[in-house]
Structures are given as structure tokens and as C-alpha cells.
Structure 1
Amino acid sequence: MQYQIIPVTRFQQNCTLFWCDITKEAAVVDPGGNVELIIEAIEQHGLTLTKVLLTHAHIDHAGASQIIASRFNIAIEGPSKEDQFWIDLIPEQKKQFGFSEAASFSPDRWLNEGDTVCFGKIELQVYFCPGHTPGHVVFYHPESKLAQVGDVLFKGSIGRTDFPRGNHATLINSIRQTLFPLGDDVQFIPGHGPMSTFGVERKHNPFVSDAVTKIG
């Protein structure tokens, strides 16, 4: 599996293009905006886009999902159904943040813990990781030891929980009980900022390290 991170919107959100080496089929994760940048990357690599995948429904992650899905006639998969209210708020968020590319939508498939999503010969595992939003999910490719974690975890930080239906304790639990057990050597692509590994964050992250949580 190959990937390219494409920072989009004024929030510099890490939209990621994943693709299968063999079939050149691809999925785009969290297309929040800047549609032409995303299309340019697809064309540059000679890919066939087959689906949109969403970790959660904040506008900087999901705003351009409907535009991309309509342009390529493909399905939107994710997040979990608990994020429906955020999808419904996209028009309001669009006005609030001055987004030009954003529209409400209905996912073709809600995702839950234990689901998988596929494109080409690639299969990603789905993990339910609420806290930042109530319906947040994470995508994991075991063969590459690579996870796309949205706004759950960042290099040296964690996702905000002061938005509607955010929950700090739930977020910490998602990180400690769902993500970290995947392995210290797993790299992750966060929703914003540079990549890191679960091992580095478990050791050094001031919010969820073993020392801070009195574990280990």
C-alpha cells in the first residue's frame, strides 16, 4: 500500500490518499476541501478512486466528501452513526468558517468496531475511537503497521474534547485501550501535523504517556 498526505483547508488537515500498488485503486480519507489538489494527486499517480473514507464529520475532515463522491460516482464510508449531527451541521459550519467547498451528505455505509473497508487488494481494519467526536473511527493497515487516526491522537498532543459531545475520559480510553495495544512500532497519520508512532506517544506524550496515566 502506498499513500500521500495532502494538507487541505486553512486548518491544514491531513487528507490522505491511499492506494493499492497492484490495482491502482485508491481511497481518499477525510477530504475536507481543496478538491482540485486531491484530484491532481489522483491523476499524478494514475489512480482510480473507488471510495471516500471518513474518520469523523468535522467540516475540515468531511466538508468536500459529497463533492468528491459525486465527481467520481463513488461511495462514502464512515464515520460511525453517532456523528450524524455533525454532518447535519456542515451548512452551518460552512458559513461559520467561510468554507467554499462543503455540503451535507448521507454516508453510504456507517462504520463500527470490527468492520473492514477495502480498495483494490487492500483491507483496512476499523476501530471505534470516540472522545473527540462520538462517532470517530480509525483506519489501520496491519501489513504496513500504519494507522490513520484523525483527531484522536497527535504527535505530542491529543484531540480536543470541548466540542459538543466530546469527552476527555472517553478519548483517553480510546487511545490507551484501542490504539496503543496495536503496537509501539505502529506509525500513525494524525488529522493535523507530523506523523509519529504509538510507542513514542506512549513514552513521551504529556497527555497519555504511561507515566502520566500511572501505567507501565
Structure 2
Amino acid sequence: MNNRAVVVLSGGLDSSTCMGIAKKKGYEIYPITFSYGQRHDRELNSAISIAEYYKCDDHKIVDINFLSEIGGSSLTDKSLEIRENELSEDIPNTYVPARNLIFLSLAIAYAETIDADYIYIGVNSLDYSGYPDCRPEFIDSIQNTARLATKRGVNQGNIIINTPLMDLDKKQIVKLGVRINVPFELTTSCYIGEDEACGVCDSCLLRIQGFQQNNYVDPIKYMSKNEETFK
């Protein structure tokens, strides 16, 4: 066993909390961030800032723009509108086809290359917006696939995929992040990606709820026109 952990870092609240958890456990962190043709660069910029905050010298940014070429999601296809209040839907149109399957496949390859024992990813089965690739069944499946598909899995034992937020809601995630000093002021959650968060997309609503339920002040700025969201 070694002290290395790959962290799938999106620049958002959940993945940054995973960074904080891995750091708290004393792992040597190797963040990996994916540029997949998302609507804006704020995610990438936030991920870079967070990796710098945790003093990660080797931060991989992987270009897989193919996901925007095939479309199928309002996060990668600007012709599709990001709709509000989709939390009650089974699978909203912000779902990016097979995104975490692709991310974890590449993260597994990276972990095997650098001989890391762990991968951290901030998937969540409670506030997961209906995405099928955030469920524990998916993680269990790809964990088994990693064991079967890699030299490391066959010869040395599996690379462990850690999902420390899987059974936490946003209230619990925010509380945990504040306790371990995650720099939430550097994170971004908004699907729109403007200088100030919209405050009405599903991702913003979940984040706002998490801070409000803890009576914490969210350190990021929201558009003033959406002040009704905070009542």
C-alpha cells in the first residue's frame, strides 16, 4: 500500500470536499479534472484554484471534448436549455451521457500508472439529481470492472474507489466541508457559469439549501435578481 490518491476534481462543492477529506487523511493527492466541452470555464478555473490551495504539484487536466461533439446534455449542448426545477424528474436534461463512467475509466488508468491505491469521487445517491452514474450500484459495478480490467487488479489487488459523500445530503456535506476547512469560496456549482451564480438552477438550489440548513453564509455571490431564492 502507498499514500497516493487520485481525486476526480470538478471544481464543485462535492469534489472539493473529497479533496479535503483525502488531504485530511494524509494522502499524496493527484487531482484529475476533465474538460469535456462544458458550457463554461468556471469549473476548470475553480478546479485549478482548489488544486493550488491544496498545493498539488501534479494536476492533470484532460481534454475529452468529444462529449460536447455528441451532445445529449444541456451542459454540453448550448442549443438545449438548462431548465429549472428538475429535481423531481427521474433524469434531467443536465445528465451528461456516461460522464462518470468515462471519468472513472480514465481515473483508474491514471491511478494504475502512478501506482495509487485510491480514487476519490464526489458522487452522491441522495442529492444526485437523478443521474444514474451517481448511484452505489454503478460504483460497485465499475469497482469490479477495475479489478477485472487492469494489470493492477489482476496482480496486486484492486484500486479502491472511495465515495465518502455517497450517503450524505447537502446539509451534511457542507457541514463536513466547513469542519475540515474546504475553501468553498473557490468552488462553483452553478450550471450557467456566469461571474455570479444564478441561484435558480438545480445545482444552485441544492447548494443554497445546504448552507441555509446549517445557518452558514455561502461565500460565493449570487445574482441579486434571484434574492427570492434565499427567503
TM range (shorter): 0.3 to 0.5
**TM-score where L is the length of structure 2:** 0.37
**Higher helix fraction: Structure 1 or Structure 2?**
2
Instruction: Please say which structure displays the higher CA radius of gyration.
Output: 2
Higher relative CO (Cα under 8 Å, sequence separation at least 6) belongs to 2
**Higher strand fraction: Structure 1 or Structure 2?**
1
**TM-score where L is the length of structure 1:** 0.38
